[in-house]
Amino acid sequence: MSGETNLQQLIKHMQPMLHPESYVFVCTETVDSLDMSKVFARINEPEGITLILTKAQADEWQLTYSSEFSLITLQIHSSLDAVGLTAAFSTALAKYDISANVVAGFYHDHILVAKKDASTAVEVLQAVTKQ
């Protein structure tokens, strides 16, 4: 498996990057008419298909959502076998009452936080890298 597995290195070099767009979660029955290349993530669940996409895209497709989120990408290439990174940053965010919705890609971890918490979340994550 490629990517960093050493927890201290992961934390020290995670480099949180805040994306400028607003993101939303939607649940739909079908995606047949949607251009999936414009979707950040798709998760198939028994209750429906969850899509994570920009608010602008959801509005264009007239999809219903209830909350707006900010997307923070940890720029270190973390291994899917790495242990403890999610626990480290979610624990730090929890101390500030910030919910962390995490999506792991092959190369990076992505954290969706409430839009109102975005600046604080980035500050907290940057502080964690210095500990």
Instruction: With a cut of 80, say whether residue 98 has pLDDT above it.
Output: yes
In a domain, 25, yes or no: yes
Helix (H, G, I), strand (E, B) or coil at 108: coil
- Domain total for the chain? 1
Look up the domain containing 113 and give its range.
7-129
Q: Does residue 1 carry a pLDDT above 80?
A: no
Per-residue pLDDT tens for 5-54?
989 999 999 999 999 999 999 999 989 899 999 999 999 999 999 999 99
pLDDT at 128 over 90: yes
Q: What's the predicted TM-score (pTM) here?
A: 0.94
Q: Is residue 119 part of a domain?
A: yes
CATH code at position 51: 3.30.2130.10
pLDDT, tens digit, for every residue of 56-96?
999 999 999 999 999 999 999 999 999 999 999 999 999 99
Looking at the domain assignment, is residue 1 inside a domain? no
